[in-house]
């Protein structure tokens, strides 16, 4: 439990930023590791910059001793509280020595120093270092580090280069949040990389003994990332070793600690038998993301936590670019847009909406959000579109040169682009401060050879921001003739006023292909006819637009099915049939185009159209649409599935993964027709986890749970595979049974709530994986999740608070559901033991 009073959370404000009067330039740490009594001796080299007291952060620490410049410090010269150590009358230069004691084994918050599977590890971002020792635990204090680890353990790692066994020196300036320590009985898979500058780098992926056969893909992804960052951004690695460690108990995906990245084991370990194609893709993306942070985050860091998007938005943008280069660019872009809409648009439309750069927060851990990460990345993408690739490269080069070794702000970043390109970015900067998803409305008119596009932008109100100004919105668009030929190649129009008009002289009314490549994170309102959408679907030069046109066709059918019980027309089903059978198209693209909008997406769209979404009707409409598609494709399914068979040994790369994805989509349709015969055969024949999970989830949806026992028997020894088993049985359960299923799974001995992956598998499997089950009319889903979040909050506030966002959509629903969701939120707010959950529930209740 936290010491900070949970009932009176005090916000911090961006406007209040002030540098510390005394700073720390070097940190010497000595650890004597012990599960219940670890001792940390810290020796801080301190320097005064301005008059004022030095206030060091420290939480849950037992003070053993304190000295200044070699002499014990008299108690009159300092004040110690639960959260701070204040030094009175500190001189201009001094050495502060403290000794602290902590108990890593009892730390279930997974922040600071903790134990996981017998090993010691740390998580210091954002404010975990203060649970290790007293320090200025803020990103604008950058220091060099020497670390010594005393422990009877074979592997002892920290940041930088190893100068003697268990002794590490990090020559690069870094803030506390990038500190890391790992110690345990670990084994490494190793490789080497020679940087473009000629530096020899040892690469190691450290895992628990027995897991070393599953590290190859992460290591390969790391080498490709290093090469890519040299080639595309001119950034080379800067130490003699790069270590990655896999940890089972981890709140997030991974952490970019300098030279010692720590990963949730699910984003490191992969073998064809245990990991799916999407696991492989996630490993590739996250390995790249953490590696790219070495320059965007570590060498240049954030001045304060309000600037989090400076490192995260940019690094997500870079990992997206990398994935587009390594895999299919079109498929990656569509996947990124799907994620953005599913998570960020949803956040932006509700009570948790906040700007990419928030202006206040109570608990910074609550701001590692889709808005900071994914919308932050879109803002970088728009900047690149506006200044062009050369302007972008020049701005980045200036940023790296000017700010290396510094803690920076968004202003520092934008100034580099303004200077390098001569462009005024003051209006563009609004993207960082204005929350909410802009709605761009398009109206077309064609008269006497004159074609007009009227544009309007409007950003809806969000919490604390009633008035919105026009943004600079790069709209990439093109025009097609009625025969599908492009008559206007892609152009970018920067919409920077509330309304605007584009005009063209043309012989006939063209088909508008607007927002190519999803050139801005906006909601496009454009009443296009089915006929136009069908032409775009078949012919547009931009794959995102082709996919989007198909998506709009599907969405309009599903919304009509939910609201009026409308059936599914032959025109739409024929279009899907053409897509499915189009052998010229990439299978991964065909799989994406056949996928229907999710239940949550439909609920959000209905709400935006002022229709109260009914989760049961949405679920039923989606199911009947799938049946209609299955019937339309019936004759082709066997041949199509056969064509997607992937011969030879499993290869995780995009080409084979795309075939497996389309194969799985087709198997799902086939299952709707044969009740599971094909899926049973596929399950028996599967020689990799991708195919096995596809068959398993199809069978669960066909209500054939017989394979669940066999699956468990085969994989009960494997934590990561069993997480899939737990999740699938909730996410693919009949909605009427999902809550009971989740509840039953939480009663099992192997449901370990202190492991975030397992907790998310079951409770996230319900709230995110089975919306109709979660939104059950009697509120049982809400009650179950609230109960578990209250329980988890007492030990792991960070994950409890993150998962509470399942309730952010509560105002969408009917009065009865609103009452039930509100009651669950109030119950969580009243029972919150952390300021994390308290802040989240307060914001959601509004």
- Annotated catalytic residues are 290
Sole binder of ligand 0A1 in the list 40, 68, 90, 126 (CB under 6 A): 126
Q: How far is the CB of 289 from ligand 0A1 (least distance, A)?
A: 6
How many C-beta atoms lie closer than 10 Å to residue 815's C-beta?
8
Give the closest residue to 845 by CA, choosing from 815, 816, 814, 824.
824
For residue 194, what are the CA distances in angstroms to 158, 197, 288, 460, 716?
22, 8, 17, 51, 41
**CA distance linking residue 172 with residue 294, whole number of Å:** 11
**CA distance linking residue 729 with residue 742, whole number of Å:** 8
Binding segment for ligand 0A1 (CB under 6 A), chosen from 48-56, 122-130, 320-328, 446-454, is 122-130
Site string for ligand 0A1, 304-323 (x = CB under 6 A): --------x-----------
Site string for Zn ion, 307-336 (x = CB under 5 A): -----x--x---------------------
Residue number with the smallest Cβ distance to ligand 0A1:
252
Burial class (CB in 10 A: 0-12, 13-18, 19+), 221: buried
Say if CB 837 and CB 792 are below 8 A apart.
no
Residue 176 binding result from Zn ion, ligand 0A1, none, given CB thresholds of 5 to 8 Å by partner type: none
Residue 138 binding result from ligand 0A1, Zn ion, none, given CB thresholds of 5 to 8 Å by partner type: none
Site string for ligand 0A1, 76-115 (x = CB under 6 A): ----------------------------------------
Which residue's CB is nearer to ligand 0A1, number 252 or number 603?
252
Q: How far is the CB of 727 from ligand 0A1 (least distance, A)?
A: 21
Sole binder of ligand 0A1 in the list 254, 537, 591, 789 (CB under 6 A): 254
Say if CB 261 and CB 157 are below 8 A apart.
no
Which residue's CB is nearer to ligand 0A1, number 204 or number 251?
251
Q: Read off the DSSP letter of residue 606.
A: H
Which residue's CB is nearer to ligand 0A1, number 344 or number 365?
365
**CA distance linking residue 434 with residue 223, whole number of Å:** 38
- Cα torsion through 1, 303, 129, 144, rounded to 10: 180
Which residue's CB is nearer to Zn ion, number 23 or number 371?
371
**CA distance linking residue 103 with residue 101, whole number of Å:** 7
**CA distance linking residue 248 with residue 523, whole number of Å:** 39
**CA distance linking residue 105 with residue 92, whole number of Å:** 38
Which residue's CB is nearer to ligand 0A1, number 377 or number 679?
377
**CA distance linking residue 158 with residue 650, whole number of Å:** 36
Q: How far is the CB of 241 from ligand 0A1 (least distance, A)?
A: 20
Q: How far is the CB of 315 from Zn ion (least distance, A)?
A: 5
Assign 3-class secondary structure to 619-652: HHHHHHHHHHHHHHHHHHHHHHHHHCCCCCCCCC
Which residue's CB is nearer to Zn ion, number 319 or number 656?
319
For residue 728, what are the CA distances in angstroms to 210, 280, 769?
26, 18, 8
Scanning residues 790 to 829, which ones bind ligand 0A1 (CB under 6 A)? 798
Sole binder of ligand 0A1 in the list 44, 141, 183, 252 (CB under 6 A): 252
Which residue's CB is nearer to ligand 0A1, number 4 or number 506?
4
How many C-beta atoms lie closer than 10 Å to residue 277's C-beta?
27
Residue 746 binding result from Zn ion, ligand 0A1, none, given CB thresholds of 5 to 8 Å by partner type: none
Q: How far is the CB of 527 from ligand 0A1 (least distance, A)?
A: 39
Q: Is residue 125 close enough to count as binding ligand 0A1 by CB under 6 A? A: yes
- The torsion region of residue 467 among left (phi > 0), alpha (psi -120 to 50) and beta comes to beta
Binding segment for Zn ion (CB under 5 A), chosen from 154-162, 178-186, 305-313, 603-611, is 305-313
- Site size toward ligand 0A1, by CB under 6 A: 15
Q: What residues make contact with Zn ion under the rule CB under 5 A?
A: 312, 315
Q: What residues make contact with ligand 0A1 under the rule CB under 6 A?
A: 123, 125-126, 251-256, 289-290, 312, 365, 368, 798
């Amino acid at each position: 439990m936290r010491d900070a009073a949970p009932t009176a959370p005090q916000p911090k404000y961006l406007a209040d930023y002030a540098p510390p009067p005394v700073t720390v330039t070097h940190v010497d740490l000595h650890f004597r590791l012990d599960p219940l009594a670890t001792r940390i001796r810290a020796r801080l080299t301190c320097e005064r910059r301005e008059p004022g007291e030095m206030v060091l952060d420290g939480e849950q620490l037992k003070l053993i001793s304190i000295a200044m410049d070699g002499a014990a410090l008299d108690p009159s010269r300092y004040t110690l509280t639960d959260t701070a150590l204040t030094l009175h009358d500190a001189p201009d230069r001094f050495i502060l020595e403290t000794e602290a004691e902590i108990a890593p084994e009892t730390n279930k918050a997974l922040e600071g120093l903790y134990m996981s599977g017998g090993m010691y590890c740390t998580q210091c971002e954002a404010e975990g270092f203060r649970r290790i020792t007293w320090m200025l635990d803020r990103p604008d204090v950058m220091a060099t580090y020497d670390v010594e680890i005393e422990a009877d353990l074979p592997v002892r790692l920290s940041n930088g280069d190893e100068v003697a066994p268990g002794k590490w020196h990090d020559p690069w300036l870094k803030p506390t949040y990038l500190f890391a320590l790992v110690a345990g009985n670990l084994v490494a898979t190793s490789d080497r990389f020679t940087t473009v500058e000629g530096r020899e780098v040892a690469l190691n992926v450290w895992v628990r003994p027995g897991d070393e056969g599953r590290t190859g893909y992460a290591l390969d992804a790391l080498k490709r990332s290093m090469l890519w960052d040299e080639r595309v951004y001119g950034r080379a690695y800067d130490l003699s070793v790069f270590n990655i460690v896999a940890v089972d108990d981890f709140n997030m995906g991974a952490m970019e600690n300098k030279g010692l990245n720590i990963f949730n084991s699910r984003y490191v370990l992969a073998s064809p038998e245990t990991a799916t194609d999407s696991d492989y893709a996630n490993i590739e993306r996250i390995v790249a993301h953490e590696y790219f942070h070495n320059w965007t985050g570590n060498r240049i860091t954030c001045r304060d936590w309000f600037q989090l998007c400076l490192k995260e938005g940019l690094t997500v943008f870079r990992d997206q670019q990398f994935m587009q280069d390594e895999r299919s660019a079109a498929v990656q872009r569509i996947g990124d847009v799907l994620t953005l809409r599913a998570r960020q648009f949803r956040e932006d439309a509700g009570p948790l909406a906040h700007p990419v750069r928030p202006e206040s927060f109570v608990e910074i851990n609550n701001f590692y959000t889709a808005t900071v990460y994914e919308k932050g990345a879109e803002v970088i993408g728009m900047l690149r579109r506006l200044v062009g690739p050369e302007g972008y490269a020049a701005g980045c080069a200036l940023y790296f040169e000017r700010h290396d070794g510094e803690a920076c702000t968004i202003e520092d970043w934008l100034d580099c682009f303004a200077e390098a390109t001569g462009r005024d970015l003051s209006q563009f900067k609004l993207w960082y401060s204005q929350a909410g998803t802009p709605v761009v409305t398009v109206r077309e008119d064609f008269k006497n050879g004159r074609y007009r596009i009227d544009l309007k932008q409007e950003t809806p109100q969000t919490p604390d921001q009633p008035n919105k100004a026009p943004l600079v919105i790069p709209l990439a668009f093109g025009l097609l003739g009625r025969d599908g030929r492009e008559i206007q190649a892609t152009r970018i129009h920067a919409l920077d006023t509330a309304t605007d008009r584009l005009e063209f002289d043309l012989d006939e009314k063209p088909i508008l292909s607007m927002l190519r490549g999803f050139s801005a994170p906006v909601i496009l309102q454009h009443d296009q006819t089915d006929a136009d959408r069908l032409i775009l679907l078949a012919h547009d030069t931009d794959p995102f637009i082709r996919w989007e046109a198909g998506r709009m066709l599907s969405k309009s059918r599903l919304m009509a099915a939910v609201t009026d019980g409308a059936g599914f027309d032959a025109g739409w089903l024929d279009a899907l049939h053409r897509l499915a059978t189009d052998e010229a198209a990439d299978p991964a693209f065909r799989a994406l185009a056949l996928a229907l909008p999710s239940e949550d997406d439909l609920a959000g769209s209905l709400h935006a159209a002022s229709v109260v979404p009914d989760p049961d009707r949405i679920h039923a409409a989606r199911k009947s649409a799938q049946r209609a598609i299955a019937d339309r494709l019936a004759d082709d399914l066997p041949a199509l599935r056969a064509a997607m068979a992937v011969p030879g040994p499993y290869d995780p790369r995009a080409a084979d993964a795309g075939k497996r994805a389309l194969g799985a989509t087709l198997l799902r349709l086939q299952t709707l027709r044969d009740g599971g015969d094909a899926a049973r055969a596929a399950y028996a024949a599967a020689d990799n986890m991708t195919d096995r999970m596809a068959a398993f989830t199809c069978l669960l949806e066909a209500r054939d749970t017989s394979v669940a026992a066999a699956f468990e028997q085969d994989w009960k020894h494997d934590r990561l595979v069993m997480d899939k088993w737990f999740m699938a049985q909730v996410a693919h359960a009949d909605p009427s049974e999902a809550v009971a299923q989740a509840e039953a799974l939480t009663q099992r001995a192997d449901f370990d709530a202190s492991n975030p992956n397992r907790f998310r598998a079951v409770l996230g499997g319900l709230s995110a994986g089975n919306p109709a089950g979660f939104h059950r009319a009697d509120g049982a889903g809400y009650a179950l999740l609230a109960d578990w979040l209250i329980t988890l909050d007492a030990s792991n506030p960070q994950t409890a608070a993150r998962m509470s966002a399942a309730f952010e959509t509560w105002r969408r629903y009917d009065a009865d559901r609103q009452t039930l969701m509100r009651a669950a939120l109030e119950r969580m707010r009243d029972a919150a033991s952390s300021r994390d959950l308290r802040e989240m529930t307060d914001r959601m209740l509004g």
